Amino acid sequence: MDFALPEHLPGLLAEMDAFIEAEIKPLEREHIQYFDQRREYARTDWENGGIPRREWEDLLDEMRRRADAAGWLRYGLPARFGGRDGSNLDMAVIREHLAHKGLGLHNDLQDESSIVGNFPQVIMMDRFGTEAQKSEWVEAVLTGKRSMAFGLTEPGHGSDATWLETTAVADGDGWIINGTKRWNTGVHRATHDLIFARTSGEPGQARGITAFLVPTDAPGFHVPFYWWTFNMPTDHGEVELKDVRVPGDAVLGEVDRGLEVGQTFLHENRIRQAASSLGAAQYCIDRAVAYAGDRVVFGKPLAVNQAVQWPLVELQTEAQMVRLLVRYAAAQLDANHHMEVSDKVSMANYRANRLVCEAADRAMQVHGGIGYSRHEPFEHIYRHHRRYRITEGAEEIQMRRIAQRLFGFGKAAK
Protein backbone atom coordinates (compact mmCIF):
# COMPACT_ATOMS: atom_id res chain seq x y z
CA MET A 1 0.00 0.00 0.00
CA ASP A 2 1.27 3.47 -0.93
CA PHE A 3 1.06 5.84 2.04
CA ALA A 4 2.39 8.84 0.11
CA LEU A 5 0.14 11.80 -0.60
CA PRO A 6 -1.20 12.19 -4.15
CA GLU A 7 1.39 14.03 -6.24
CA HIS A 8 -0.63 17.20 -6.62
CA LEU A 9 -1.18 17.84 -2.91
CA PRO A 10 2.22 19.01 -1.57
CA GLY A 11 2.43 21.74 -4.19
CA LEU A 12 -1.18 22.65 -3.63
CA LEU A 13 -0.61 23.08 0.12
CA ALA A 14 2.38 25.33 -0.56
CA GLU A 15 0.26 27.51 -2.88
CA MET A 16 -2.43 27.66 -0.23
CA ASP A 17 0.05 28.75 2.45
CA ALA A 18 1.33 31.50 0.16
CA PHE A 19 -2.23 32.75 -0.38
CA ILE A 20 -2.85 32.78 3.38
CA GLU A 21 0.31 34.78 4.05
CA ALA A 22 -0.39 37.27 1.26
CA GLU A 23 -4.17 37.77 1.58
CA ILE A 24 -5.51 36.43 4.85
CA LYS A 25 -2.89 37.06 7.54
CA PRO A 26 -2.77 40.83 6.90
CA LEU A 27 -6.56 40.95 7.23
CA GLU A 28 -6.35 38.92 10.44
CA ARG A 29 -3.77 41.28 11.93
CA GLU A 30 -6.06 44.24 11.26
CA HIS A 31 -8.73 42.53 13.41
CA ILE A 32 -6.56 40.74 15.96
CA GLN A 33 -9.14 41.19 18.74
CA TYR A 34 -11.03 38.25 17.26
CA PHE A 35 -8.05 35.91 17.63
CA ASP A 36 -6.19 36.88 20.81
CA GLN A 37 -7.32 36.63 24.44
CA ARG A 38 -10.32 38.86 23.64
CA ARG A 39 -11.70 36.52 20.98
CA GLU A 40 -14.79 35.23 22.78
CA TYR A 41 -15.80 38.64 24.07
CA ALA A 42 -15.15 40.38 20.73
CA ARG A 43 -17.04 37.81 18.68
CA THR A 44 -20.17 37.66 20.85
CA ASP A 45 -23.19 39.95 20.83
CA TRP A 46 -23.87 39.39 24.52
CA GLU A 47 -26.96 41.62 24.59
CA ASN A 48 -28.60 39.96 21.59
CA GLY A 49 -28.98 36.34 22.61
CA GLY A 50 -25.25 35.63 22.53
CA ILE A 51 -25.20 35.33 18.74
CA PRO A 52 -22.10 36.26 16.71
CA ARG A 53 -21.51 39.97 16.22
CA ARG A 54 -22.26 41.10 12.72
CA GLU A 55 -18.82 42.73 12.42
CA TRP A 56 -17.18 39.37 13.13
CA GLU A 57 -19.30 37.60 10.55
CA ASP A 58 -18.63 40.37 8.02
CA LEU A 59 -14.92 39.63 8.47
CA LEU A 60 -15.54 35.95 7.77
CA ASP A 61 -17.53 36.92 4.67
CA GLU A 62 -14.60 38.99 3.43
CA MET A 63 -12.24 36.08 4.00
CA ARG A 64 -14.51 33.80 1.97
CA ARG A 65 -14.84 36.41 -0.79
CA ARG A 66 -11.05 36.60 -1.14
CA ALA A 67 -10.72 32.82 -1.04
CA ASP A 68 -13.39 32.42 -3.71
CA ALA A 69 -11.76 35.02 -5.96
CA ALA A 70 -8.45 33.14 -5.63
CA GLY A 71 -10.05 29.80 -6.51
CA TRP A 72 -9.76 28.14 -3.10
CA LEU A 73 -13.21 28.33 -1.51
CA ARG A 74 -14.94 25.86 -3.85
CA TYR A 75 -12.00 23.49 -4.18
CA GLY A 76 -13.91 20.41 -3.00
CA LEU A 77 -16.92 20.98 -5.26
CA PRO A 78 -17.49 19.69 -8.80
CA ALA A 79 -16.17 21.84 -11.64
CA ARG A 80 -19.72 22.57 -12.80
CA PHE A 81 -20.17 24.58 -9.59
CA GLY A 82 -16.91 26.45 -10.01
CA GLY A 83 -14.94 23.95 -7.94
CA ARG A 84 -11.85 21.90 -8.69
CA ASP A 85 -13.28 18.39 -8.21
CA GLY A 86 -11.35 17.96 -4.99
CA SER A 87 -11.71 14.47 -3.56
CA ASN A 88 -12.59 13.52 0.00
CA LEU A 89 -8.95 12.52 0.44
CA ASP A 90 -7.87 15.95 -0.79
CA MET A 91 -10.26 17.63 1.61
CA ALA A 92 -9.09 15.48 4.54
CA VAL A 93 -5.45 16.41 3.95
CA ILE A 94 -6.27 20.09 3.40
CA ARG A 95 -8.49 20.33 6.48
CA GLU A 96 -5.82 18.72 8.64
CA HIS A 97 -3.18 21.04 7.21
CA LEU A 98 -5.20 24.19 7.86
CA ALA A 99 -6.15 23.21 11.42
CA HIS A 100 -2.52 22.29 12.12
CA LYS A 101 -1.61 25.93 11.49
CA GLY A 102 -3.50 26.95 14.65
CA LEU A 103 -6.14 29.57 15.22
CA GLY A 104 -6.61 32.15 12.52
CA LEU A 105 -8.88 33.69 9.95
CA HIS A 106 -7.76 31.11 7.39
CA ASN A 107 -9.63 28.36 9.24
CA ASP A 108 -11.90 29.31 12.11
CA LEU A 109 -13.39 26.06 13.33
CA GLN A 110 -15.87 27.70 15.67
CA ASP A 111 -17.79 28.89 12.61
CA GLU A 112 -16.92 25.98 10.30
CA SER A 113 -15.33 28.72 8.23
CA SER A 114 -12.28 28.12 6.05
CA ILE A 115 -10.58 29.35 2.90
CA VAL A 116 -11.45 25.89 1.55
CA GLY A 117 -15.15 25.69 2.19
CA ASN A 118 -17.19 22.79 3.47
CA PHE A 119 -20.50 22.83 1.60
CA PRO A 120 -22.65 19.84 2.59
CA GLN A 121 -25.71 21.89 1.63
CA VAL A 122 -24.49 22.11 -1.97
CA ILE A 123 -23.72 18.39 -2.05
CA MET A 124 -27.19 17.62 -0.69
CA MET A 125 -28.76 19.88 -3.30
CA ASP A 126 -26.72 18.28 -6.06
CA ARG A 127 -27.73 14.76 -5.04
CA PHE A 128 -31.35 15.34 -4.10
CA GLY A 129 -32.52 18.66 -5.51
CA THR A 130 -34.64 19.20 -8.59
CA GLU A 131 -33.16 21.18 -11.45
CA ALA A 132 -35.19 24.19 -10.35
CA GLN A 133 -33.90 23.86 -6.78
CA LYS A 134 -30.30 23.55 -7.95
CA SER A 135 -30.72 26.67 -10.06
CA GLU A 136 -32.11 28.61 -7.10
CA TRP A 137 -29.78 27.30 -4.45
CA VAL A 138 -26.27 26.25 -5.47
CA GLU A 139 -24.73 29.56 -6.52
CA ALA A 140 -26.79 31.44 -3.92
CA VAL A 141 -25.32 29.31 -1.12
CA LEU A 142 -21.78 29.72 -2.42
CA THR A 143 -22.08 33.51 -2.60
CA GLY A 144 -23.97 33.86 0.70
CA LYS A 145 -27.25 35.07 -0.81
CA ARG A 146 -29.00 32.05 0.65
CA SER A 147 -28.14 29.92 3.65
CA MET A 148 -29.62 26.83 5.20
CA ALA A 149 -29.79 25.83 8.86
CA PHE A 150 -30.29 22.16 9.76
CA GLY A 151 -33.40 21.19 11.74
CA LEU A 152 -33.19 17.55 12.75
CA THR A 153 -32.66 17.47 16.53
CA GLU A 154 -35.64 18.12 18.82
CA PRO A 155 -36.01 18.85 22.55
CA GLY A 156 -37.01 15.25 23.21
CA HIS A 157 -35.02 13.61 20.45
CA GLY A 158 -31.37 13.91 19.48
CA SER A 159 -29.60 10.74 18.38
CA ASP A 160 -32.96 8.95 18.13
CA ALA A 161 -33.90 10.89 14.99
CA THR A 162 -36.46 8.37 13.76
CA TRP A 163 -38.56 9.17 16.83
CA LEU A 164 -38.90 12.85 16.03
CA GLU A 165 -42.29 14.41 16.78
CA THR A 166 -42.41 17.22 14.23
CA THR A 167 -45.10 16.46 11.66
CA ALA A 168 -45.96 17.63 8.16
CA VAL A 169 -49.46 17.05 6.83
CA ALA A 170 -50.40 17.37 3.16
CA ASP A 171 -52.62 20.37 2.50
CA GLY A 172 -53.71 20.83 -1.09
CA ASP A 173 -50.56 21.48 -3.11
CA GLY A 174 -48.47 22.09 0.01
CA TRP A 175 -47.73 20.97 3.56
CA ILE A 176 -48.51 22.18 7.08
CA ILE A 177 -45.64 21.70 9.54
CA ASN A 178 -45.86 21.68 13.34
CA GLY A 179 -43.13 20.94 15.87
CA THR A 180 -40.04 22.16 17.71
CA LYS A 181 -36.38 21.87 16.73
CA ARG A 182 -33.23 22.38 18.77
CA TRP A 183 -29.60 23.27 17.93
CA ASN A 184 -30.45 24.87 14.58
CA THR A 185 -26.93 26.14 13.94
CA GLY A 186 -26.73 29.35 11.94
CA VAL A 187 -30.44 30.04 11.99
CA HIS A 188 -29.83 33.63 13.11
CA ARG A 189 -28.75 34.48 9.54
CA ALA A 190 -30.26 31.61 7.58
CA THR A 191 -32.78 32.30 4.85
CA HIS A 192 -34.14 28.76 5.22
CA ASP A 193 -34.15 25.91 7.70
CA LEU A 194 -33.99 22.32 6.48
CA ILE A 195 -36.74 20.84 8.64
CA PHE A 196 -37.16 17.09 8.98
CA ALA A 197 -40.73 16.06 9.76
CA ARG A 198 -42.71 12.85 9.85
CA THR A 199 -45.07 12.59 6.91
CA SER A 200 -46.07 8.92 7.29
CA GLY A 201 -45.27 5.78 9.21
CA GLU A 202 -44.80 5.17 12.91
CA PRO A 203 -42.31 6.53 15.47
CA GLY A 204 -39.02 4.69 15.17
CA GLN A 205 -39.37 3.99 11.45
CA ALA A 206 -36.72 5.47 9.17
CA ARG A 207 -39.09 5.66 6.24
CA GLY A 208 -41.78 8.29 6.52
CA ILE A 209 -39.59 11.31 7.32
CA THR A 210 -39.34 14.13 4.77
CA ALA A 211 -36.93 17.06 4.44
CA PHE A 212 -38.46 20.52 3.83
CA LEU A 213 -36.80 23.79 2.84
CA VAL A 214 -38.66 26.18 5.15
CA PRO A 215 -38.15 29.95 4.81
CA THR A 216 -37.19 31.42 8.17
CA ASP A 217 -39.56 34.36 7.57
CA ALA A 218 -42.56 32.07 7.01
CA PRO A 219 -45.60 32.81 9.22
CA GLY A 220 -45.50 30.52 12.26
CA PHE A 221 -41.69 30.05 12.15
CA HIS A 222 -40.28 31.41 15.40
CA VAL A 223 -36.88 31.41 17.16
CA PRO A 224 -37.66 32.03 20.85
CA PHE A 225 -34.01 31.93 22.05
CA TYR A 226 -30.47 30.73 21.43
CA TRP A 227 -28.70 28.21 23.62
CA TRP A 228 -25.61 29.61 25.35
CA THR A 229 -22.90 27.01 25.10
CA PHE A 230 -19.48 25.97 26.40
CA ASN A 231 -17.98 27.95 23.52
CA MET A 232 -19.36 31.38 22.63
CA PRO A 233 -20.72 33.06 20.56
CA THR A 234 -23.72 30.82 20.00
CA ASP A 235 -25.76 30.45 16.86
CA HIS A 236 -27.68 27.37 17.99
CA GLY A 237 -31.31 28.38 17.97
CA GLU A 238 -34.45 26.79 19.32
CA VAL A 239 -37.08 26.79 16.56
CA GLU A 240 -40.83 26.55 16.94
CA LEU A 241 -43.07 25.80 13.97
CA LYS A 242 -46.78 26.41 14.37
CA ASP A 243 -48.94 25.72 11.32
CA VAL A 244 -46.11 26.69 8.99
CA ARG A 245 -47.26 26.23 5.41
CA VAL A 246 -44.80 25.44 2.62
CA PRO A 247 -45.46 24.62 -1.04
CA GLY A 248 -44.93 21.21 -2.55
CA ASP A 249 -41.63 22.24 -4.13
CA ALA A 250 -40.19 22.87 -0.67
CA VAL A 251 -39.51 19.13 -0.37
CA LEU A 252 -35.81 18.24 -0.80
CA GLY A 253 -35.43 14.72 -2.10
CA GLU A 254 -38.27 12.22 -2.05
CA VAL A 255 -41.27 12.37 0.25
CA ASP A 256 -40.83 9.90 3.13
CA ARG A 257 -37.11 9.42 2.40
CA GLY A 258 -35.67 12.52 4.01
CA LEU A 259 -33.24 10.67 6.26
CA GLU A 260 -31.18 9.88 3.17
CA VAL A 261 -30.71 13.63 2.79
CA GLY A 262 -29.71 13.94 6.43
CA GLN A 263 -27.22 11.08 6.21
CA THR A 264 -25.47 12.78 3.30
CA PHE A 265 -25.09 15.94 5.39
CA LEU A 266 -23.68 13.99 8.32
CA HIS A 267 -21.19 11.88 6.38
CA GLU A 268 -19.82 14.82 4.43
CA ASN A 269 -19.32 16.70 7.71
CA ARG A 270 -17.93 13.80 9.71
CA ILE A 271 -14.86 13.11 7.59
CA ARG A 272 -13.92 16.78 7.32
CA GLN A 273 -14.59 17.23 11.02
CA ALA A 274 -12.29 14.31 11.80
CA ALA A 275 -9.50 15.80 9.69
CA SER A 276 -9.86 19.20 11.37
CA SER A 277 -9.78 17.61 14.82
CA LEU A 278 -6.63 15.71 13.85
CA GLY A 279 -4.94 18.91 12.64
CA ALA A 280 -5.85 20.81 15.80
CA ALA A 281 -4.62 17.88 17.92
CA GLN A 282 -1.27 17.90 16.12
CA TYR A 283 -1.01 21.64 16.67
CA CYS A 284 -1.51 21.15 20.44
CA ILE A 285 1.04 18.32 20.56
CA ASP A 286 3.64 20.33 18.65
CA ARG A 287 3.16 23.38 20.84
CA ALA A 288 3.47 21.29 24.01
CA VAL A 289 6.65 19.59 22.77
CA ALA A 290 8.23 22.93 21.84
CA TYR A 291 7.33 24.51 25.19
CA ALA A 292 8.66 21.52 27.12
CA GLY A 293 11.97 21.89 25.30
CA ASP A 294 12.24 25.61 26.03
CA ARG A 295 10.90 25.75 29.57
CA VAL A 296 13.60 25.38 32.22
CA VAL A 297 12.52 24.16 35.66
CA PHE A 298 14.78 23.15 38.53
CA GLY A 299 17.73 23.96 36.30
CA LYS A 300 16.85 21.68 33.36
CA PRO A 301 14.44 21.59 30.43
CA LEU A 302 10.96 20.36 31.28
CA ALA A 303 11.26 17.90 28.39
CA VAL A 304 13.82 15.68 30.14
CA ASN A 305 11.14 14.44 32.54
CA GLN A 306 9.54 11.18 31.46
CA ALA A 307 6.31 12.28 33.12
CA VAL A 308 6.18 15.00 30.46
CA GLN A 309 7.56 12.92 27.59
CA TRP A 310 5.37 9.85 27.77
CA PRO A 311 1.89 11.40 27.62
CA LEU A 312 3.03 13.35 24.55
CA VAL A 313 4.54 10.21 23.03
CA GLU A 314 1.18 8.46 23.49
CA LEU A 315 -0.63 11.36 21.84
CA GLN A 316 1.81 11.54 18.93
CA THR A 317 1.42 7.81 18.33
CA GLU A 318 -2.36 8.12 18.44
CA ALA A 319 -2.23 11.08 16.03
CA GLN A 320 -0.27 9.06 13.49
CA MET A 321 -2.71 6.15 13.73
CA VAL A 322 -5.69 8.47 13.40
CA ARG A 323 -4.06 10.18 10.40
CA LEU A 324 -3.85 6.88 8.56
CA LEU A 325 -7.42 6.06 9.54
CA VAL A 326 -8.79 9.43 8.40
CA ARG A 327 -7.07 9.21 5.03
CA TYR A 328 -8.16 5.59 4.57
CA ALA A 329 -11.77 6.47 5.38
CA ALA A 330 -11.65 9.46 3.02
CA ALA A 331 -10.27 7.31 0.19
CA GLN A 332 -12.97 4.72 0.83
CA LEU A 333 -15.59 7.48 0.74
CA ASP A 334 -14.28 8.51 -2.69
CA ALA A 335 -14.56 4.95 -4.00
CA ASN A 336 -17.90 3.88 -2.53
CA HIS A 337 -21.42 5.08 -1.70
CA HIS A 338 -21.23 6.89 1.62
CA MET A 339 -23.53 4.42 3.38
CA GLU A 340 -21.25 1.53 2.39
CA VAL A 341 -18.35 2.96 4.38
CA SER A 342 -20.21 4.77 7.14
CA ASP A 343 -18.51 2.59 9.76
CA LYS A 344 -15.07 3.68 8.54
CA VAL A 345 -16.13 7.33 8.64
CA SER A 346 -17.48 6.84 12.16
CA MET A 347 -14.22 5.25 13.31
CA ALA A 348 -12.21 8.20 12.04
CA ASN A 349 -14.63 10.74 13.44
CA TYR A 350 -14.96 9.59 17.02
CA ARG A 351 -11.28 8.78 17.45
CA ALA A 352 -10.11 12.12 16.03
CA ASN A 353 -12.60 14.13 18.10
CA ARG A 354 -11.55 12.34 21.26
CA LEU A 355 -7.86 12.82 20.41
CA VAL A 356 -8.05 16.60 20.06
CA CYS A 357 -9.72 16.97 23.45
CA GLU A 358 -6.95 14.90 25.05
CA ALA A 359 -4.24 16.82 23.19
CA ALA A 360 -5.62 20.24 24.15
CA ASP A 361 -5.92 19.16 27.77
CA ARG A 362 -2.34 17.85 27.80
CA ALA A 363 -1.04 21.05 26.17
CA MET A 364 -2.69 23.04 28.97
CA GLN A 365 -1.05 20.79 31.54
CA VAL A 366 2.41 21.06 30.02
CA HIS A 367 2.13 24.85 29.76
CA GLY A 368 0.89 25.11 33.33
CA GLY A 369 -0.93 28.28 34.36
CA ILE A 370 -0.29 30.09 31.08
CA GLY A 371 -1.81 27.13 29.24
CA TYR A 372 -5.00 27.51 31.22
CA SER A 373 -5.21 31.21 30.35
CA ARG A 374 -6.98 32.65 27.33
CA HIS A 375 -3.66 34.05 26.17
CA GLU A 376 -2.94 30.60 24.78
CA PRO A 377 -5.38 28.92 22.36
CA PHE A 378 -5.76 25.57 24.09
CA GLU A 379 -8.89 26.38 26.10
CA HIS A 380 -10.55 27.66 22.92
CA ILE A 381 -9.56 24.56 20.97
CA TYR A 382 -10.82 22.29 23.75
CA ARG A 383 -14.13 24.10 24.16
CA HIS A 384 -14.80 24.10 20.45
CA HIS A 385 -13.82 20.53 19.66
CA ARG A 386 -15.54 19.10 22.72
CA ARG A 387 -18.85 19.66 20.96
CA TYR A 388 -17.79 17.40 18.08
CA ARG A 389 -18.03 14.43 20.44
CA ILE A 390 -21.77 15.14 20.51
CA THR A 391 -22.71 16.82 17.22
CA GLU A 392 -22.96 15.06 13.83
CA GLY A 393 -23.81 11.97 15.89
CA ALA A 394 -22.50 11.49 19.42
CA GLU A 395 -19.47 9.22 19.67
CA GLU A 396 -21.71 6.55 21.20
CA ILE A 397 -23.85 6.65 18.05
CA GLN A 398 -20.74 6.39 15.91
CA MET A 399 -19.65 3.36 17.90
CA ARG A 400 -23.13 1.89 17.52
CA ARG A 401 -22.79 2.22 13.74
CA ILE A 402 -19.45 0.39 13.86
CA ALA A 403 -20.95 -2.31 16.08
CA GLN A 404 -23.77 -2.84 13.58
CA ARG A 405 -21.21 -3.71 10.93
CA LEU A 406 -18.97 -5.62 13.30
CA PHE A 407 -21.68 -7.86 14.74
CA GLY A 408 -23.99 -7.95 11.71
CA PHE A 409 -26.95 -6.20 13.32
CA GLY A 410 -29.77 -4.67 11.30
CA LYS A 411 -29.59 -3.01 7.90
CA ALA A 412 -26.09 -1.72 8.56
CA ALA A 413 -24.75 -5.27 8.43
CA LYS A 414 -22.40 -5.92 5.54
* Residues annotated as catalytic (active site), given as ranges: 392
Residues 6+ apart with CB under 8 A from 114: 95, 98, 106, 107, 108
Residues 6+ apart with CB under 8 A from 12: 90, 94
Q: Which residues make beta-bridge pairs with 180?
A: 240
Q: What are phi and psi of 370, to 5 degrees?
A: -65, -30
Neighbours of 7 (CB within 10 A): 8
Q: Are strands 221-226 and 148-151 parallel, antiparallel or unpaired?
A: unpaired
How many Å apart are CA 290 and CA 312, to the nearest integer? 11
How many Å apart are CA 119 and CA 131, to the nearest integer? 18
> Is the N-terminal amide bond of 301 cis, ω within 30° of 0?
no
Neighbours of 111 (CB within 10 A): 17
Q: Which residues make beta-bridge pairs with 296?
A: 301
Task: Please report, to the nearest 10 degrees, the dihedral formed by the alpha carbons of residues 360, 365, 371, 372 taken in order.
Answer: 90
Q: Angle, to 10 degrees, between the axis of helix 120-128 and the axis of helix 131-143?
A: 170
User: Could you tell me if 274 and 329 are in contact, meaning their C-beta atoms sit under 8 angstroms apart?
Assistant: yes
Burial of 156 (0-12, 13-18, 19+ CB in 10 A): exposed
Q: Which residues make beta-bridge pairs with 179?
A: 241
